[in-house]
């Protein structure tokens, strides 16, 4: 039992270390020996857990997908309506891109041609979720009548990908203030007039803070 | 004269080849010998023109900056107003990201920490231009009264960066149809009502084609 716990801890340390080095040096450049050294384990231990760098990249993607699942899982917030759920999730995702190297590396690995097959494309999973939320807003009647749910999803997915890409150079792009300004601009176009005043562009988590 | 022409042609071939390999393999991974081989010149010729890989990256950025300058230079279109100039330039930029590897590599090099100092950050130059155009629309009175030029610029710069990032995986994100849908969604929020009907979301170049 203790041995199993230790194995889980080693595996997680390797995933974290791999994410850090994929993020810093890129998938192609990051070396397995640097990854194991940074995780504080031997090369042998790394190879016990992961057969190849691609397998390690797959595990990073899987861990990132779980985190994305928690961000989009929401739950309990249905009372706020679909648009507020989306605003809140976008804030959580950008916080994740700032602070969580596993989430960031997982999204990036999907973009990298060298790591193809490492895991599913998280951008595509996020996009599918955003489309479903706008379709829900449409059914609720909280999406403005003359707005297509698909076009709204396209704009939000593109902007979030842009915040992520530009944030690598200048962290200001990932700040809550930036995303709040984006929603402040977009919501009067997207939301049905009757719900607009209830929506919190800075996210409902910001009210608690 | 003929010798000088040949030198210019060799230099351009090296810039094109470097852009292709930076784009495909990344700055760190691309090797000088592959770059010279692809350009059909000797290693010696490469070193005659460029002292280092960083110098080559600098030349790629400079060539990309010139192309961006042509895209944002516009000229002669002032009659269409600032917002139409911006729409047209965004279409030209996304066409560039699709078809012009020098432009694409130049933008990417600015993002890559390894190539720091290789050239100016083209995203930042594009951003400065977009901000100036929205400020111009504000002065013209074609920007909607309740929209801040800065927030509008932020949304457009983020979305364009997102189209570029997502387009690396799925070319659909760089298609004129995608960008037209984005402008179709955003313009009713950004443009003063009186000019909205005159704006062509697909770009004025699309009317000629």
Closest by alpha carbon to A88, among A101, A99, A73? A73
**Contacts of residue A176 in chain B, CB cutoff 8 Å?**
none
B16 φ/ψ angles, rounded to the nearest 5 degrees: -65, -45
Chain A contact for B165 (CB, 8 A cutoff): yes
Chain A contact for B196 (CB, 8 A cutoff): no
Number of domains comprising chain B: 1
> DSSP string covering chain B, please?
-HHHHHHHHHHHHHHHHHHHHHHHH-TTT--HHHHHHHHT--HHHHHHH-SSHHHHHHHHHHHHHHHHHHHHH--S-GGGHHHHHHHHHHHHHHHHHHH-HHHHHHHHHHH-GGGTTSS--HHHHHHHHHHHHHHHHHHHT-B-TT--HHHHHHHHHHHHHHHHHHHTT-GGGGSHHHHHHHHHHHHHHHB-HHHHTT--TT-THHHH-
CA distance B131 to B157: 9
Q: What is the pLDDT of residue B1?
A: 60
In a domain, B27, yes or no: no
In a domain, A6, yes or no: no
Determine contact, residues B93/B68, Cβ cutoff 8 Å: yes
> How close is the nearest chain B Cα to the Cα of A7, in Å?
34
**Contacts of residue A31 in chain B, CB cutoff 8 Å?**
none
Q: Would you call A21 helix, strand, or coil by DSSP?
A: helix
Q: What is the pLDDT of residue A140?
A: 94
CA distance A49 to B81: 61
Q: Do A165 and B111 touch (CB under 8 A)?
A: yes
Q: What residue in A sits closest to B123 (Cα-Cα)? A: A166
Q: What residue in A sits closest to B114 (Cα-Cα)? A: A25
Q: What residue in B sits closest to A189 (Cα-Cα)? A: B189
In a domain, B45, yes or no: no
Q: What is the pLDDT of residue B80?
A: 74
Q: What is the pLDDT of residue A155?
A: 98
- Domain of residue B84, residue span: 63-208
> How close is the nearest chain B Cα to the Cα of A13, in Å?
25
Report, as ranges of residue numbers, the positions in chain B whose pLDDT lies below 70: 1, 74-79, 111-120, 208-209
We report the CATH number of the domain holding residue A177 as 1.10.357.10
Report, as ranges of residue numbers, the positions in chain A whose pLDDT lies below 70: 1, 74-79, 111-120, 208-209
**Contacts of residue A175 in chain B, CB cutoff 8 Å?**
none
In a domain, B203, yes or no: yes
Task: Tell me how crowded residue B82 is: count the other CB atoms within 10 A of its CB.
Answer: 20
CA distance A205 to A74: 12
**Contacts of residue A182 in chain B, CB cutoff 8 Å?**
151, 154-155, 158
In a domain, A173, yes or no: yes
Helix axes A53-73, A101-111, angle to 10 degrees: 120
> Which of B109, B118, B159 to probe the A interface (max A CBs under 10 A)?
B159
| Pairs of CB atoms within 8 A across A/B | 108
pLDDT for A63-95, tens place per residue?
999 999 999 986 555 567 999 999 999 999 999
In a domain, B36, yes or no: no
Q: What is the pLDDT of residue B206?
A: 79
Q: What is the pLDDT of residue A26?
A: 86
If contacts are CB pairs under 8 Å, which of residues 101-160 in chain A contact chain B?
Answer: 110-111, 113, 121, 123, 146-148, 150-152, 154-155, 157-160
Q: What residue in B sits closest to A180 (Cα-Cα)? A: B151
Q: What is the pLDDT of residue A206?
A: 79
In a domain, B44, yes or no: no
Q: What is the pLDDT of residue B79?
A: 66
Closest CB from A123, A158, A166 relative to B182: A158
In a domain, B31, yes or no: no
Q: What residue in A sits closest to B182 (Cα-Cα)? A: A155
Provide the ipTM.
Answer: 0.91
């Amino acid at each position: 039992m203790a041995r199993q716990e230790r194995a889980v801890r080693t595996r997680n340390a390797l995933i974290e270390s791999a994410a850090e080095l994929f993020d810093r040096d890129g998938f192609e450049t990051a070396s397995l020996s640097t990854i194991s050294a940074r995780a504080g384990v031997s090369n042998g231990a790394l190879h016990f857990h992961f057969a190849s760098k691609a397998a390690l990249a797959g595990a990073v993607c899987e861990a990132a997908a779980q985190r994305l699942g928690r961000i989009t899982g929401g739950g309990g917030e249905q009372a706020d309506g679909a648009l507020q759920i989306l605003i809140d999730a976008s804030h959580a995702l950008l916080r994740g891109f700032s602070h969580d190297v596993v989430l960031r590396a997982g999204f990036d690995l999907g973009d990298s041609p060298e790591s193809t097959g490492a895991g599913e494309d998280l951008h595509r999973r996020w996009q599918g979720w955003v489309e479903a939320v706008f379709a829900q807003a449409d059914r609720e009647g909280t999406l403005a009548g003359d707005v297509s749910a698909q076009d709204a999803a396209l704009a939000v997915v593109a902007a979030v990908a842009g915040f992520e890409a530009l944030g690598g150079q200048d962290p200001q792009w990932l700040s809550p203030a930036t995303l709040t300004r984006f929603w402040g601009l977009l919501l009067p176009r997207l939301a049905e007039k009757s719900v607009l005043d209830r929506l919190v562009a800075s996210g409902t988590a910001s009210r608690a803070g």
